[in-house]
Amino acid sequence: MSGLLLTVATTDDCDKDEFEIKSPTSTVYDRRAVQLVLEGKDEAAANLFQKALSTQPRSLDAVFHESIHSWVRGESTDHDVLQRLQSFPKNRFTTSYYFALIHARRGDYQSALQYISEARKIQLEPASEADHDGFDSVVPAEQRLSVLETLERLVNAAHSAMNAQLGLYGTQVLHEDWVKCLVFSLDGTTVVSGSGDQTVR
């Protein structure tokens, strides 16, 4: 699945032409790096992710985004990403949300749905002081349930498409590398996959 790098930088904090950060905080570095990824400027993004992590090594957002970026570039594996996130507090919305995204991207749709369910349960629980420990900033509280609902629909659609492909093609290998993205038709009957092997199926 694509679209795992979800936050974007605000232009107030960044100089787009020179990649200079006016307010050097981990969050600003991280958001600017994500924006550079979306613009296809991977090397500049990698440098800013490192600056974000050197500014705040325990930034969940920066660790997640840098890990995903490294994984997509083939510099690490999905297992490396999961291991890095294991050190963060459990029972937090953002941690569960990020685990759901990673499992969806790696094609483990059952685990993704379990983490979506866990994130929903956490969000519906009464707020406590622990909810304000700085780890739950990626999705504003008022948008979390709708974000989870959208993610759940995407995961279910991807899972259904995968099952349909397996039913149609049996054990035939459709790609020789990781599937990098899935695109669904508006009516949900067709799915196109793009892979690191430079093919579209």
pLDDT digits (tens, 9 = 90+) for 144-190: 888 888 888 888 888 777 766 655 444 444 666 666 666 666 555 56
- Within the chain, how many helices (H) and strands (E) appear? 7, 4
C-alpha–C-alpha distance, residues 162 and 124, integer Å: 31
Cα(55)–Cα(65) distance, rounded to whole angstroms?
Answer: 15
pLDDT for 25 beyond 90: no
Residue-level pLDDT at 180? 65
pLDDT category at 8 given cuts 50, 70, 90 is very low
Is the pLDDT score of 13 beyond 60? no
CA–CA separation, 138 and 134 (whole Å): 10
Q: Label residues 49-65 b or e (16+ Cβ within 10 Å = b).
A: bebbbebbeebbbbbbb
Rounded Cα–Cα distance for residues 192 and 180 (Å): 11
CA atoms within 13 A on the CB side of 26: 16
> Which pLDDT tens digit goes with each residue over 101-150?
888 888 888 889 999 999 999 888 876 544 444 544 567 778 888 888 88
Query: What's the average model confidence in pLDDT over 84-88?
Result: 88
**Model confidence pTM above 0.85:** no
Find tokens 């969806």 and name the residue. Answer: 104
Spatial distance between the Cα atoms of 174 and 119, rounded to a whole number of angstroms: 33
- Is the pLDDT score of 46 beyond 90? yes
Residue 41 burial class via C-beta count within 10 angstroms: exposed 0-12, middle 13-18, buried 19 and up: middle
One-character DSSP codes across 33-65: HHHHHHTT-HHHHHHHHHHHHHH-TT-HHHHHH
